Amino acid sequence: MDKYQIMMIRINHRINSAESLQKVLTRYGCNIKTRLGLHEAGDVCGVDGLVILQLVKTDMSNTDFVSELNALEGIEAMLCEV
């Protein structure tokens, strides 16, 4: 059975972080197989969010990917293999 490489990205104050986050996601777009974004919605749109990515298995570039994300203010990213 193949393993899946998943990245979880926590975004604090997503209004301030969204543009810089999107630039990195676009740069590594070929590494992303599936993207799911979650945030509080309803009467008031939440300021924090979570993005879950299923990545194409390219270990070194995904390590660089997570490092670039963690260098951004208000962003915390983590790789997980399952």
pLDDT in tens, 6-62: 999 999 987 788 899 999 999 999 999 999 998 877 677 777 889 999 999 777 789
Whose tokens are 């951004």? That residue is 72
Range 5-81 has CATH code 3.30.70.260: yes
Does the pLDDT of residue 2 top 70, yes or no?
yes
The H or E element that residue 44 is part of is none
- Helices of type H across the chain: 14-27, 59-70
Confidence bin at 75 (pLDDT 50/70/90): very high
Does the pLDDT of residue 1 top 70, yes or no?
no
pTM score: 0.87
Residue from 79, 57, 68, 82 nearest 26 by CA: 68
Instruction: For residue 80, count other CB atoms closer than 10 A to its CB.
Output: 11
